[in-house]
Structure 1
Amino acid sequence: MPAAYIYDIATAVPDQSYSQEFILEFMKNLTDDERQKSFLEKIYRGSAIEKRHTVIEDYHREPEDYRFYPKSADLLPEPSTARRNDYYIEAIEPLVRKVLEKLFRSFEASRITHLVTVSCTGFSAPGIGLFIQKEFGLSLTLQQCHIGFMGCCAAFPALRQARDIVSGEPEANVLVLCAELCSLHFQQRNDLDIMVANALFADGVAAAIVGSAESFDLGNSPRNSILGLHRFQTNLIPDSKDDMAWRIGDCGFDMKLSAYVPRLIGSNIAGILQNIVAGFVGNARVFPEGSPDSSDPSASISHWAIHPGGRAILEKLSKVLELPAGPEKALRHSYEILRQFGNMSSATILFVLERFLRREYKETPGLLFAAGFGPGLTVESALMELY
């Protein structure tokens, strides 16, 4: 049995959302370049995203009523990095409050002993950890740490740290919070990487409670299921550091997102899956070495939770892994989160995992493989089990 479990997950997004079609037309109105408009049509209509949520409400207002952008129709001059970060500090607290009010309906806030916060889209000190501690009356001895600037895969090291804490302290209850406002880093540039990023990223907050089996009264759980945390694995793809990266610029974070990312992940994912399954000992659902099925590690996996970084990533991985149920079914939760919310960086995988715990989906018990992708190019993966 695992030493640690995800007992519950809660998610929240800003009230304001825009359809992908609305955003496409808005972006096209910002340029007179017909080639650029054609490229925007291609990436937005092929994104598999229907709508995205954002803390920025200016897009449906008249310029004189803008709160985030300067009061000009062309949104120029672009907001400084300081302006964007100040807006993050202002906007993130209501979303954090919203998600934790949901989470603490099923688990007493006073029982939280550790807090791991995650974000790559805004920073402050003291940060959201102190806000959570004061807002929900957490202990003054609450142990905290923050994981910053690790991008879309950062929820994995956060969950790994939570698992390690609980393994050493079975009485511990760890709150993991991923809070990302990606839309604050929208930039007007003809750079293709920036244009693709503008078409994908959105805002969202997600939180999970991790503890030992003894910590949870499963009979009163709002979920049908919990997720056991078995193994975590980190893989750096060689010669790919320039394919996904970013730096702090004068007008937000400058993003590098190569078109080769899906291909690079696809070329490595089968070996990553093989290694994490081969290293898992003591579970009868994993075929032993030398058995007829040992060459196919996907045969032992019942569920798949892949970070929906974009449509091309999901399509490439479903093809490479030869998922027997087909991409729309095997990766249905990943596709649905992408469709409804876009890419919310580190929070996104928790949105996907939440669906495995919700009663309406009635997922059967079994092993679950999860993966996320970040700068480096780094692949973070986990082997979990749905109970």
Structure 2
Amino acid sequence: MTIGLDAPAPAGGTAPTRLPGPRPPRIVGVGTATAGTAYSQPDVLDAFGITDPKVRSVFLNSAIERRHLTVPEPDEHGVRVPEPQGDLLDKHKRLAVGMGAEALRACLKRAGAELGDLRHLCCVTTTGFLTPGLSALLIRELGIDRHCSRSDIVGMGCNAGLNALNVVAGWAAAHPGELAVVLCAEACSAAYAFDSTLRTAVVNSLFGDGAGAVALRSPAPDDHPAATPEGPRVLAFASCIIPEAVDAMRYDWDRDLGRFSFFLDPQVPYVVGAHAELVVDRLLDGTGLRRSDIRHWLVHSGGKKVIDSVVVNLGLTRHDLRHTVGVLRDHGNVSSGSFLFSYERLLDERVTRPGDHGVLMTMGPGSTIETALVQW
């Protein structure tokens, strides 16, 4: 498959989404969780007896040191037998609920809130299909109020965390004083396929299991100024879909393997990079801000080449994307929740200052780039 790398089309189209009202929602908490065992890349190669030099090179040159994975135990012959699709769906359900619950609790703790304070729960996942959705399963698992409103975003891929944040920020703006949470839970081990192809090697070398949650709240009209929640205000969103690259990232049925399989076109990093400037400039249009005014960049840990392409095309430094690089190194690509792992690391640094602006960016199937503008 070949994807054209022509210059992006002129901006045109609709304006960025600006959240209404003088008191936009704030991000008031974040939490993350992982599951399974932390494997180094050599560990994974050894566990599956991978000796092909080309495949090993993909793993060992990925800029990933370790990832959390839940893979089948060796049988009596020391062989890890591929799991059928039904077992993978069961794995996804188990891991998504477990990691999701842990990330949600950590997020609420950081927000100074309890499960009883939650009024809307939006769950995001791509690595398995659930009906009832993950939100309903977590409400039952954790004993959340049965009247909590909920939504589930399924199948959008690595970009979906910001798609959800956009929708839930609108909910929070419409319900001042009430707490909403976006939870991204991705059991990437439930999307693994074991064969000797380079297609599979690219995917198996990259993804890890993880969940991230982010809490939002708009100040209520009667809130005392001193009670205004801490955390950045969510100001705007901008999206860019690249229709000519719609098949460049896909999760579809592999008839030979009898299961779902993920595909990444090798040109994806360059296509994403070529469109990054377009969508960021649209996000900042009308704000009076330039890219050089953005103090904090929180970008999806899509892979080494994706990160390099974004750095080059946006004129950033490695320091600007230090959190993204660190998350890739320590967790791999945890799909839709990756940017929340980066956001958590930024908060732990305690370097943000009032007035600072930040840009959140995710990429995924479509091919799509999603962005958000925040201000502390």
Tell me which interval the TM-score lies in, with the shorter structure as reference length.
0.7 to 0.9
After TM superposition, the structure 1 = structure 2 runs for residues 346-385 of structure 1, keeping only pairs within 5 Å, are 346-358=336-348, 360-365=349-354, 366-385=356-375
Equivalent AA in structure 2 for residue 371 of structure 1? M
Cα offsets for 1:51-72 (capped at 9, x unmatched): 00023362xxx423xxxxxxx5
Per the alignment, in what secondary structure is the counterpart of residue 369 of structure 1?
Answer: strand
Q: d(CA) in 1 for partners of 2:101 and 2:247? A: 36
Aligned to 1:67: none
Aligned to 1:187: 193
Per the alignment, in what secondary structure is the counterpart of residue 144 of structure 2?
Answer: coil
After TM superposition, the structure 1 = structure 2 runs for residues 1-387 of structure 1, keeping only pairs within 5 Å, are 3-27=24-48, 29-30=49-50, 37-56=52-71, 58=73, 62-64=74-76, 73-76=78-81, 78-105=82-109, 106-214=112-220, 226-249=231-254, 251-280=258-287, 286-287=288-289, 297-323=290-316, 326-327=317-318, 329-358=319-348, 360-365=349-354, 366-385=356-375, 387=376
Contact 2:125/2:186 (CA < 8 Å) preserved in 1? yes
Q: d(CA) in 2 for partners of 1:39 and 1:217? A: 61
Root-mean-square deviation (CA, aligned residues, Å) is 2.4
Aligned to 1:291: none
Deviation at 1:355, TM superposition (A): 1.9
Judged with a 3 Å threshold, the aligned counterparts in structure 2 of structure 1 residues 349 and 251 are, in CA distance, closer, same or farther, namely farther
Q: d(CA) in 1 for partners of 2:231 and 2:225? A: 9
Q: Unmatched 5+ residue regions in structure 2?
A: 1-21
Equivalent AA in structure 2 for residue 103 of structure 1? C
Per the alignment, in what secondary structure is the counterpart of residue 71 of structure 2?
Answer: coil
Cα offsets for 1:245-280 (capped at 9, x unmatched): 121446442212011011101111111111110143
Cα offsets for 1:337-386 (capped at 9, x unmatched): 0000000111111111122222x44333411111111111111111112x
Q: d(CA) in 2 for partners of 1:382 and 1:130? A: 28
Contact 1:174/1:210 (CA < 8 Å) preserved in 2? yes
TM-score for both structures, normalised by structure 1: 0.84
Contact 1:2/1:230 (CA < 8 Å) preserved in 2? no
Contact 1:179/1:204 (CA < 8 Å) preserved in 2? yes
Q: d(CA) in 2 for partners of 1:220 and 1:197? A: 46
Equivalent AA in structure 1 for residue 180 of structure 2? V
Contact 1:118/1:346 (CA < 8 Å) preserved in 2? yes
Judged with a 3 Å threshold, the aligned counterparts in structure 2 of structure 1 residues 238 and 101 are, in CA distance, closer, same or farther, namely closer
Q: Unmatched 5+ residue regions in structure 1?
A: 32-36, 65-71, 281-285, 288-296
Equivalent AA in structure 2 for residue 381 of structure 1? T
Q: d(CA) in 1 for partners of 2:225 and 2:101? A: 25
Aligned to 1:294: none
Equivalent AA in structure 1 for residue 346 of structure 2? F
Judged with a 3 Å threshold, the aligned counterparts in structure 2 of structure 1 residues 201 and 252 are, in CA distance, closer, same or farther, namely farther
Equivalent AA in structure 2 for residue 96 of structure 1? G
> Percent identity over the alignment?
27
Equivalent AA in structure 2 for residue 322 of structure 1? G
